[in-house]
Amino acid sequence: MKIICVGRNYGEHAKELGNDIPEDPVIFMKPDTAILKKGSDFYLPEFSEDIHYELEVVLKISKGGKYIRKENAAAHFEEIALGIDFTARDIQSRLKAKGLPWELAKAFDGSAVVSDFVSKENYDLQNLNFSLTKNREKVQDGNTGDMIFSFSDIIAFASQYFTLRVGDLIFTGTPKGVGQVLENDLLEAFLEEKKLFSLRIQ
């Protein structure tokens, strides 16, 4: 199983980190060891002084394929979740400045939080509200209508390069409002009004 992630997929978030709006999806991957075990707290790693949350909608591939056409892409996932793409922002900034790959900042153990999955049938995927609170205060408030690349765009693009298999996950990008987590913070994620997970930082 692999985890494909999209960076800079919300214009306001790209701007808050000083990045241009991309012409193609910015793609990176996390290994399966990045998934935080269900019910675990997140432990701040020793190698970073600046771990950021990034709340994202996550797709689970239900039908594999390669060179999937955009018009057929919706048939390749049935369920969605919310997740956090934890990012060591200090490390990422150093890597970006040198033009180096991001894995050390993005793919470490526990960096991929994934909630339980829900059927996509109950939701309007082009107009999906999702939000994150930190210590009960709203810090991120996204709507999938603001994505630069839609779920179908991402599947079509990524599957040109990587064969998608059943069970693969796609993190579809974070809206603006990313920020640091500190010990004892409590993160809670909501899809529309429904809470999908809460997570304690240690």
Q: Is the dihedral of CA 14, 19, 25, 30 positive or negative?
A: negative
The residue from 174, 175, 187, 199 that contacts Mg ion (CB under 5 A) is 174
- What are the residues whose beta carbons fall under 8 Å from the beta carbon of 76, sequence distance 6 or more? 61, 62, 63, 64, 65, 68, 155, 164
Looking at 42-50, 118-126, 128-136, 174-182, which segment touches Mg ion (CB under 5 A)? 174-182
In the complex, least distance from residue 170 CB atom to Mg ion, rounded to whole angstroms: 11
The 13-52 contact track toward Mg ion, x by CB under 5 A, reads: ----------------------------------------
Tokens standing for residue 42: 């997140």
The residue from 9, 13, 54, 84 that contacts Mg ion (CB under 5 A) is 54
Interface with Mg ion (CB under 5 A), residue total 3
Beta 118-119 vs 179-180: how paired, if at all?
unpaired
In the complex, least distance from residue 28 CB atom to Mg ion, rounded to whole angstroms: 9
Q: Which is nearer to Mg ion, 133 or 174 (CB)?
A: 174
Residue 85 contacts Mg ion per CB under 5 A = yes
Looking at 54-62, 120-128, 145-153, 178-186, which segment touches Mg ion (CB under 5 A)? 54-62
Q: Which residues pair with 60 in a beta bridge?
A: 79, 169
Q: Which is nearer to Mg ion, 77 or 171 (CB)?
A: 171
Tokens standing for residue 153: 């765009």
Q: Which is nearer to Mg ion, 52 or 120 (CB)?
A: 52
In the complex, least distance from residue 47 CB atom to Mg ion, rounded to whole angstroms: 19
**Which of 179, 39, 166, 62 lies closest to 113 in space, CA to CA?**
39
Chain position whose Cβ is nearest to Mg ion: 85
Q: Which is nearer to Mg ion, 44 or 67 (CB)?
A: 44
Q: Convert 40-76 to b/e letters by CB count within 10 Å (16 or more is b).
A: eebebeeebeebbbbbbbbbbbeeebeebeeeebeeb
Cα radius of gyration (the chain):
16
Q: Which residues pair with 112 in a beta bridge?
A: 35, 85
Residue 149 contacts Mg ion per CB under 5 A = no
Q: Which residues bind Mg ion (CB under 5 A)?
A: 54, 85, 174
